[in-house]
Amino acid sequence: MNERIKVAFESGGTTCAGYLYLPPAPDGRLPCVVLCHGFSGTMDRLFPHAEQFAAEGMAALVFDYRSFGESGGEPRQLADIGGQQEDLRAAIAFARRNEHVDARSVMLWGNSLGGAHVVSVAAGDPDIVAVVAQIPFNGFPKRVEGRSTWQTLRLLGAIGWDALRGKLGLRPYYIPMVGSPGELAVAATPEAEQHIQALTSGEATTLWRNSVAPRGLLSMMRYHPEQAAARLTIPLLVCVAAEDHETPIETTRALAERAPRGELRSYPGTHFSFYTDSATREHVLTDQIAFLRRCLQPQQG
């Protein structure tokens, strides 16, 4: 049975909480995968992934960004691009210092917005061995399927109002992350509705909150990690969903195409299939583990 150790590290004056997963009876220092969740996610959604990496003989570190889950930081539920990248760098530094980890064999794995962060951060860290970006963010699509012009204007209004409240030092104007079609939410599609049903079902997360400060979307409008991908000197695996409307393949494929050592793999399903469909998750994880093992061979040879 895998071992799980609760950990904490400092980032920008804030304490980030996490868990380090280790295989049973670890022998010496291990390669380590640092996992990053998405826009409003929390680390408990990645526990099954960390368990799988540990079962394959690797250490796996999951953590919450500042303002989310078990980590500190105010205001809550505010996704700050620069702050989250700083948290990821702090997580990498923590992993490299850990007695169970081979500091020369640290790899990054990111989902959705976390997929953008692992590409951007790795571009500035030549000692990272490999990167996996799953359904990664690479700029907003020009049009979100199922969202009318009026719904878009409502969301933009919420973003603007929350940004103004932030400048005035007021409590955020929170909106749901996931909502039913027609609701004011960051994601409001039939697939998103299925996702929230999964999040609140028998496998429900205990940390995730269906609430975000929408001002966090402002910095995402200027965030295009494909520019960082072009500077990557290490292997990059980009895993996408063929029917993804949130991070569509038309934008995400650019990450693999611009990275000198990029690979693209497409799987059936939507953005939310990677969360809710256990068969899809297992298939993708199997491919990702094989990719990381291949990348580790030069370090272990």
pLDDT single digits (tens) 125-163 = 999 999 999 999 999 877 666 667 888 899 999 999 999
pLDDT of residue 150: 86
* 195, 189 Cβ separation under 8 angstroms: no
Q: What is the per-residue pLDDT for 143? A: 66
**Residue 203: its pLDDT value, please?**
45
Side-chain-side CA neighbours of 25 within 13 Å: the count stands at: 0
pLDDT of residue 149: 83
Q: Hey, which bits of the chain come out as E strands?
A: 3-11, 14-22, 30-36, 59-63, 101-111, 131-134, 236-241, 262-267
**In DSSP terms, which residues pair with 59 in a beta bridge?**
32
Q: What is the pLDDT of residue 206?
A: 73
Count of other CB atoms within 10 angstroms of residue 188: 21
Domains of the chain, CATH where assigned: 3-141+222-300 (3.40.50.1820)
pLDDT of residue 145: 62
- Can you give the pLDDT at residue 204? 44
Q: In this predicted structure, what is the pLDDT of residue 202?
A: 47
For the chain, how many helices (H) and strands (E)? 10, 8
Per-residue pLDDT, 104: 97
Q: Which residues contact 95 (CB under 8 A, 6 or more apart)?
A: 20, 32, 34, 59, 61, 101, 103, 106
Q: Where are the beta strands (DSSP E) in 208-259?
A: 236-241
Q: Give the rounded distance of the alpha carbon of 83 from its chain centre.
A: 14
Positions in the chain short of pLDDT 70: 143-147, 191-205, 299-301
What's the sign of the alpha-carbon dihedral 285, 286, 290, 291?
A: negative
Strand partners, 36: 110
